[in-house]
Amino acid sequence: MAEIREIKKAETSGKASIHSHITGLGIDESGKAKFKADGLVGQVEAREAAWVVVELIRQGKMAGKGILLVGPPGTGKTALAVGIAKELGEDTPFNMLNASEIYSVELKKTEVLTQAIRKSIGVRVRQKRLVYECVVKELKVKVARSRLNPYVQVPREVEIKLATKDEDRTLTAGDTIAEQIARMGIRKGDVIWIDAETGNVVKVGKAKGLEGAKSYDIESGRAVDIPSGPVKKEKELTNTFTLYDLDMSLAAQSISLTAVFSLWSEREITQDVRKQVDSYVKEMMNKGMAELIPGVLFIDDAHMLDVETFSFLTKALEAELAPILVLATNRGTTKIRGTDVEAPHGMPLDLLDRLLIITTRPYSEDEAKEIISIRAEELDIELEPQALEELKRLASENNLRYSIQLLEPSAVIARRSGRNVVKVDDVKEASRLFSDVKRSVKYVKEYETLFLK
């Protein structure tokens, strides 16, 4: 079987989102939801139900089951799904998919769903590696002309004096390590470790108080202690990947040279590759070097899925390698897509029977006020009390999403007037410029004869 190597650690995007402030479900020690905690407000019953689901997952009692979040638009269904993933642990994969994304013109529905499922299953890998963990005391990089471009000089060799609190050691390494050291800008006083088997170099930070090391008033890296013990030691490294990461790593190694020059697309993955990955993961688990982390696959607007997709998901729930399936919908009784059959939430009854259904309810005025306040703080927007009250009123008359959407336009209007604090007049001006749904419908009816049919 091909070796799986050089896999990038699974990371979430640093881009702030509307749910970036959520850190959990806000449940106390007795399993009761606090009114405001972990970035969530209200929805007490739904959060307590979600906490029970988290406990079932931890006890391994969610096999063959899924979760369905049902409620009107803007009642926190996505926030609950994020809260469930956060409660399960920081390295728990969370993959969010809108039902409309499944109908891709480039990929089959089954391929999109399979990739989504495998992006939602984590593998925590523990490996004991021989590494050089040390601080750099001296560094000499030798350069030579590039074999590819004789006019360019590249690092060819490095002589490096490494040290811990207890030992000094001098090493000579080739171009692979020399290139990494040059690229990372490693200098005297940096704490690094080098994988003795692969040659991978990791820069940890700047050593505290190393004699002779140059220091600056403002440092870009974090300060760390000088390592102790021998320079070369065995170290346990823990990384979390998804099955999809492993699929892509193995698939990239398997492509032919012809495929590279024909701009091979990494979007399609064969079942043979996935079987090899599954076999590799099971082998690692049997050796005690890895463990599976069931992540969360969240599919929003689930009523837009069709019969074939529902059938696929029903089967996926019973699979040995299955994530926690969380569906969300704001529909009542409606037709199942692709059929003339009406069903609750537009879903087949045989799938509904396998789902634990959690309902969300419209927010009260006080809950809406708290949510607007949290979101304003997240966006670094300062609201005067009257402006917050006006946004609360608009949320009550229209919906919470409309009020939250007015935050940034109101801040722009305030800055235009030379202020950093949003006043009530700024909110009213933003509301005048941007219609809510009710005013939009009224406008359509008023000018109905002018619109194209």
This prediction has a pTM of: 0.69
The most distant pair of C-alpha atoms in the chain lies apart, rounded to whole Å, by 86
Please give the pLDDT value at position 30: 82
User: In terms of C-beta density within 10 A (0-12 exposed, 13-18 middle, 19 or more buried), how is residue 218 classed?
Assistant: exposed
Please give the pLDDT value at position 262: 45
Is the backbone of residue 232 left (phi > 0), alpha (psi -120 to 50) or beta?
Answer: beta
Please give the pLDDT value at position 264: 45
Please give the pLDDT value at position 64: 79
Please give the pLDDT value at position 19: 66
In tens digits, the chain (453 residues) has pLDDT values of 444 444 444 443 333 455 666 777 888 888 888 888 877 888 889 888 989 988 888 888 887 788 999 988 888 888 888 888 888 887 788 888 888 888 876 778 888 888 888 888 888 887 777 888 888 888 888 887 777 677 777 788 888 888 888 888 888 888 888 888 888 888 888 888 788 777 788 888 888 766 655 555 555 557 778 888 888 888 777 778 888 888 887 777 665 444 444 444 446 777 888 888 888 888 888 887 888 888 888 988 888 888 888 888 888 887 777 888 899 998 888 888 888 888 898 888 888 888 899 998 888 888 888 888 888 888 888 999 999 999 999 888 888 888 888 999 999 999 998 999 999 999 999 999 998 888 888 888 888 887 776
Residue partners of 235: CB distance under 8 A and separation at least 6: 128, 129, 130, 131, 133, 193
Please give the pLDDT value at position 38: 78
Residue partners of 426: CB distance under 8 A and separation at least 6: 387, 410, 411, 413, 414, 417
Please give the pLDDT value at position 6: 43
E-state strands within 282-412: 290-294, 296-300, 324-329, 333-335, 342-344, 355-359, 382-383
Domains and CATH numbers, the chain: 36-120+295-359 (3.40.50.300), 126-237 (2.40.50.360), 365-445 (1.10.8.60)
- Tell me how far apart the terminal alpha carbons of the chain are, to the nearest angstrom: 61
Please give the pLDDT value at position 384: 92
Backbone torsions φ then ψ of 394, nearest 5 degrees: -65, -35
Backbone torsions φ then ψ of 200, nearest 5 degrees: -65, 135
The span from the CA of 198 to the CA of 53, in Å, is 42
